Amino acid sequence: MAPEIHQKKAYTGNSVDIFAAGTILFMCVAAHPPWSKAIAKDPFYKFIGGKRPDLFWKTMNKGKPEDYFSEEFKDLVTQMIDIADRRFDMEKVMAHPWYTSNDVPSYEEIK
């Protein structure tokens, strides 16, 4: 759930959906969830909410090759899972270079 839901703030569907999509995108690439709960006390989410995504990504990259997450991927996901007043809307997501790139891996690369 988006952090604003945990804080019992007014529900804004589009923003919450962007958060959920960013979380799912992260899990598809990383093969694990980014945190237990998107709250300020969570040891991983606090880096996003606290404007320290560099520490979040440093932690998430442990045990993976150095360039496992591209800079464009990290930027997009960070913008999608940020706190509500800084979170991307769908227009910004769809205009982001990671989303618009034609750099799609081949079947062999995926395999």
pLDDT, tens digit, for every residue of 61-86? 999 998 899 999 999 999 999 999 99
Query: Domain range spanning residue 43?
Result: 3-110
pLDDT, tens digit, for every residue of 9-36? 887 889 999 999 999 999 999 999 999 9
The sign of the torsion formed by the CA atoms of 15, 26, 37, 41 equals negative
- CATH number of the domain that residue 64 is part of: 1.10.510.10
Structural domains counted in the chain: 1
